[in-house]
């Protein structure tokens, strides 16, 4: 008998049995605890309830409830004068106006809010042309690099045509392989390739903060968001992220949220801990793209 081979087989078998024991005793309850999952029956019941309200859901509904924390962030300090000069030249006029400073020149106007938001509007009127989406994004990238700068953690978001024929090119923030809904840049490019408007708000991520708590089910978030949706809405996405409205504090905490996205591009942010509506956002197309004044 080959004793060395026999002993090796026994050792391997022993290790496999121990791994199976540890998996069943420790790993399965942690990662596959049934209490952390929504049943298929619950999802089906929620979808039927929404269908009764004339709300369709094409998105895959997550079953797992995740443990999530608050996210500490800080506002990025930028020189107002340098920002204004990069966008509308050095020959500008500054007009303080309550919660914002208004900069005006022959090249356009810039509003810089005390909470860090920047609104830029070119003096150029949108021109006709036939620029493709990829070319519009290239123009937006170059515009950011030439003016306020493109943040190192900014990634390409959506690019879509607006009702007036211009392209809205969005940038979102990625941190530790997670896409955040806190920061946002929207550059508007006309059909001739000129940038005619920009909305800019960006934060610096500090890190997780507070206790890690189990999120509410995705089905609960869907139900809560549907309460304020008009009939005929189609929900195309639901996922966990972090969100917070611009604030005056140097450092603050963004809440973990379920993001419920619709076919029209609207997003509803449901607090993943409390179930409260944290905010809404709509596709760019208004004078104030952020929808905040």
Task: Return the CA Rg of the chain.
Answer: 25
Span 103-130, average pLDDT:
93
Q: What is the pLDDT of residue 12?
A: 56
Arithmetic mean of pLDDT over the chain: 87
Q: What is the pLDDT of residue 250?
A: 82
Q: What is the pLDDT of residue 130?
A: 87
Helix (H) or strand (E) holding 213: strand 203-214
Q: What is the pLDDT of residue 22?
A: 42
**% pLDDT > 90, the chain:** 71
Find out whether 117 and 183 touch, Cβ atoms under 8 Å: no
Q: What is the pLDDT of residue 246?
A: 85
Return all residues near 103 (Cβ < 8 A) that are at least 6 apart.
Answer: 80, 84, 88, 92, 93, 94, 95, 109, 110, 111, 112
- pLDDT tens digit sequence for 21-69: 444 444 444 455 667 889 999 999 999 999 999 999 999 999 999 999 9
Residue 21, CB half-sphere, CA atoms under 13 Å: how many? Answer: 6
Is the pLDDT at 19 greater than 60? The verdict is: no
Is the pLDDT at 276 greater than 80? The verdict is: yes
Is the pLDDT at 18 greater than 80? The verdict is: no
Q: How far apart are CA 106 and CA 92, in angstroms?
A: 8
Q: What is the pLDDT of residue 284?
A: 55
- Going by pLDDT thresholds of 50, 70 and 90, the confidence category of residue 285 is very low
**% pLDDT > 70, the chain:** 85
Let me know if domain 37-72+207-281 sits in CATH 2.60.40.
Answer: no
* SS3 call for 69: strand
């Amino acid at each position: 008998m080959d004793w060395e081979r026999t002993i090796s087989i026994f050792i391997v078998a022993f290790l496999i049995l121990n791994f199976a024991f540890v998996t069943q005793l420790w790993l399965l309850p942690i990662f596959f605890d049934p209490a952390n999952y929504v049943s298929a029956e619950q999802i089906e019941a929620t979808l039927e309830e929404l269908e009764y309200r004339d709300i369709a859901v094409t998105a895959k509904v997550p079953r797992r409830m995740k443990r999530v924390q608050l996210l500490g962030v800080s506002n990025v300090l930028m020189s107002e004068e340098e920002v204004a000069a990069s966008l509308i030249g050095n020959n500008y006029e500054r007009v303080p106006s309550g919660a914002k400073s208004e900069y005006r020149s022959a090249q356009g106007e810039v509003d810089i809010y005390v909470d860090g938001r920047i609104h830029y509007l070119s003096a150029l009127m949108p021109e006709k042309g036939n620029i493709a989406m990829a070319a519009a994004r290239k123009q937006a990238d170059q515009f950011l690099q030439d003016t306020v700068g493109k943040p190192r953690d900014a990634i390409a978001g959506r690019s879509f045509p607006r009702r007036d024929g211009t392209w809205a090119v969005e940038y979102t923030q990625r941190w530790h392989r997670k896409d955040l809904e806190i920061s946002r840049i929207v550059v508007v490019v006309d059909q001739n390739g000129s940038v005619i408007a920009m909305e800019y708000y960006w934060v610096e991520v500090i890190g997780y903060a507070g206790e890690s708590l189990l999120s509410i089910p995705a089905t609960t978030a869907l139900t809560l968001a549907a309460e304020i949706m008009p009939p005929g809405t189609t929900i195309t996405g639901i996922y966990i992220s972090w969100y917070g409205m611009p604030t005056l504090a140097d450092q603050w905490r963004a809440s973990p949220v379920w993001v419920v996205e619709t076919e029209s591009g609207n997003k509803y942010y449901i607090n993943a801990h409390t179930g409260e509506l944290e905010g809404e956002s709509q596709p760019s197309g208004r004078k104030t793209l952020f929808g905040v004044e």
